[in-house]
Amino acid sequence: MSLSSSASISSASSICNGSYSTKLYGTRVSVDFSFPNSKQLRTVICSADANRGATVIEQGVSYSASVPSRIASLGQVTGVLGCQWGDEGKGKLVDILAKHFDVVARCQGGANAGHTIYNAEGKKFALHLVPSGILNEETVCVIGNGVVVHLPSFFEEIDGLQSKGVSCEGRILVSDRAHLLFDIHQVVDGLREAELAKSFIGTTGRGIGPAYSSKVLRNGIRVGDLRHMDKLREKLEVLISDAAARFELYKHQPDVPRQVFEDYRQYAKRLEPFITDTVRYINDAISQKKRILVEGGQATMLDIDFGTYPFVTSSSPSAGGICTGLGIAPRVVGDLIGVVKAYTTRVGSGPFPTEILGEGGELLRTAGQEFGTTTGRPRRCGWLDIVALRYCCMINGFSSLNLTKLDVLSELPEIQLGVSYKQNDGTRIQSFPADLSVLEQIQVEYETMPGWQCDISSIREYSDLPKAARNYVERIEELVGVPIHYIGVGPGRDALIYK
């Protein structure tokens, strides 16, 4: 990375032609700069060492940037996306990274995305719509145009945050292009699942699919429509009549549209300070060299196009969803970090090749506290699926991975990796198949590795991990071809190893 022409540096360290070397680490330097904020200064200076920060003099004031260069050298627009079927721990990484970014943005999904994070005091927060950067006071949180927003849930979440001392005023922006999710969508979600009987998808019941369906059918209602109350009642009547025509079990009284209209008249007044042209806001922030962190909901294996269709979500939680869900150009997207659990979990129905049934799956579920943040449902558990992970890395082009919950495997005497698939006739499958009938019959070939059977939750340096744990991490890197730069060894903010 080269220094901006607006900054001049003089020091005894090895610097030439406007660039710096790793010898900057440990050297006190004088910096005369014109960067508009300190986060950009950290981006320039702290990339001096692979795993440590640097101390600089900021206009004569001592300024310590104790941030690993892994973070400081991330691209101006960086995304954090799930590599499995969700619940990988994306919220924790976003929370940790957020203090080094100016904006944290959600680009898709809705209140079906449950992110559990902990503040510095260890207090637990369960977020659904609000981006996980909200605990960092200087960070602006954006709910982009690709998100579907259930306003009662949104306000309930904000009220809960503020009751715990988290300031939300002026820090959350909601796109005027985002679609509204109404209670009627949640009713339709349940009716649709009941209609499918044994072939149900296993949705969260939050109305996400029906809301996206309304969007695609072009009878959806957007956040910006709340500014035109004279037309809102008519749009609500169309939405409700469509549901009544589709489902015989859906019953509503003639005054339902009026009741909903009155509720949303009040919601509109409260929401007005949040409503923003976020497409312009994000692009202006990029032009101003601010740093943008994008938080994905769900994960690639639930992508509407690339996941295990039809057992998927209704949006694009893979890399392409960043551009369409925020209105930014592909060329500005820099680093993408894939978050992958050290084993695999799935909520709801659908194929799960490496699932462990019976006592083994229950052991992982209990050790990892695998219950949905949004629904509380027990998650299905299994071994890490390398074939699916490679597939996700291919689709997204991850620059690095965050391996989470490595500590959960500590009690196991041995660990298995699902390294390849083959059909009943012995034919190997080169990639993750789209055909569910193939997925239902494949045989997973496993590689067995020894466990380490000791507590690693207090370890903070990679070299201090047991050799068996390091072998496991490095074998995943070897099989997938993407480096693991972050390793989670517990739920707390500090329980992270930088590799």
| 325 marked ligand binding residue | no
Whether residue 59 is annotated as binding a ligand: the answer is: no
Exposed / middle / buried, residue 358 (Cβ in 10 Å: 0-12, 13-18, 19+): exposed
Contact present, 382 and 361 (Cβ < 8 Å): yes
Q: Which two tokens stand for residue 171?
A: 């820090």
Q: What is the pTM of this model?
A: 0.84
In the chain, what are the domain boundaries? 8-72, 74-334, 338-499
More confidently predicted of 364 and 56:
364
276 is in an annotated binding site: no
Residue 114 annotated as binding site: yes
pLDDT confidence tier of residue 163, bands split at 50, 70 and 90: very high
The answer to whether the peptide bond before residue 483 is cis (omega within 30 degrees of 0) is no
> Which residue among the candidates 100, 150, 179, 215 is catalytic per the annotation?
215
Asked if residue 286 has pLDDT above 90, the reply is yes
- Which region, left, alpha or beta, applies to residue 219 given φ > 0 means left and ψ of -120 to 50 means alpha? alpha
The closest of 96, 169, 195 to 488, measured between CA atoms, is 96
Residue 49 designated active-site: no
Residue 448 is assigned to a ligand binding site: no
Whether 87 has a binding-site annotation, put simply, is yes
Instruction: Categorize the per-residue pLDDT at 121 as very low, low, confident or very high, splitting at 50, 70 and 90.
Output: confident
> Which distant-in-sequence residues (6+ apart) come within 8 Å of 382 by Cβ?
343, 344, 345, 346, 352, 353, 354, 355, 356, 361, 364, 418
Would you say residue 272 has pLDDT above 90? yes
> Per-residue pLDDT averaged across 106-112, rounded?
91
215 noted as active-site residue: yes
pLDDT of residue 148 exceeding 90? yes
Residue 401: strand, helix, or coil: strand
Q: Which one of the listed residues 39, 115, 235, 499 is annotated catalytic?
A: 115
pLDDT tens per residue across span 79-90: 999 999 989 999
Three-state DSSP state, 484: strand
Q: Which of 15-19, 49-53, 311-315, 415-419 has the lowest mean pLDDT?
A: 15-19
Known binding residue 373? Answer is yes
Residue 382 falls in which region: left (phi positive, over 0), alpha (psi -120 to 50) or beta? beta
Which segment, 190-194, 208-212, 394-398, is predicted with the most confidence on average? 394-398
Report residue 42's pLDDT band, with 50, 70 and 90 as the boundaries: very low
pLDDT tens digits, 339-390: 999 999 998 889 999 999 988 888 899 888 888 766 677 899 999 999 999 9
Residue 280: pLDDT over 60: yes
Question: In the predicted model, is pLDDT for residue 20 greater than 60?
Answer: no
pLDDT digits (tens, 9 = 90+) for 291-343: 999 999 999 999 999 999 999 999 999 999 999 999 999 999 999 999 999 99
Distance from chain centroid for Cα 206: 18
pLDDT tier for residue 44 given thresholds of 50, 70 and 90: very low
Cα 496–chain centre separation: 17
**CATH domain 338-499 topology:** Adenylosuccinate Synthetase; Chain A, domain 3 (3.90.170)
Taking alpha carbons only, the member of 220, 250, 243 closest to residue 232 is: 220
**pLDDT tier at 187, thresholds 50, 70, 90:** confident
Q: Please tell me whether 426 is known to bind a ligand.
A: no
Q: Over pLDDT 70: what percentage of the chain?
A: 83
pLDDT at 244 (0 to 100): 79
In the prediction, which pLDDT does 416 show?
Answer: 97
Tell which residue, 406, 374, 245, 315, has the closest CA to residue 81: 315
488 labelled as ligand-binding? yes
Average pLDDT for the chain: 84
Q: Is 23 annotated as a binding residue?
A: no
pLDDT for 393 equals 97
Candidates 3.40.228.10, 3.40.440.10, 2.60.40.10, 3.40.50.300; correct CATH number of 74-334? 3.40.440.10
Instruction: Give which of 191, 329, 171 is closest to 249, Cα–Cα.
Output: 191
Q: Are strands 77-82 and 292-295 parallel, antiparallel or unpaired?
A: parallel
Q: Is residue 87 annotated as part of the catalytic site, yes or no?
A: yes
A 10 A CB-CB count for 90 gives 28
Looking at residue 145, its pLDDT comes to: 98
Q: Which helix (H) or strand (E) holds 339?
A: strand 336-341
Checking if the pLDDT of 32 tops 60, the result is: no
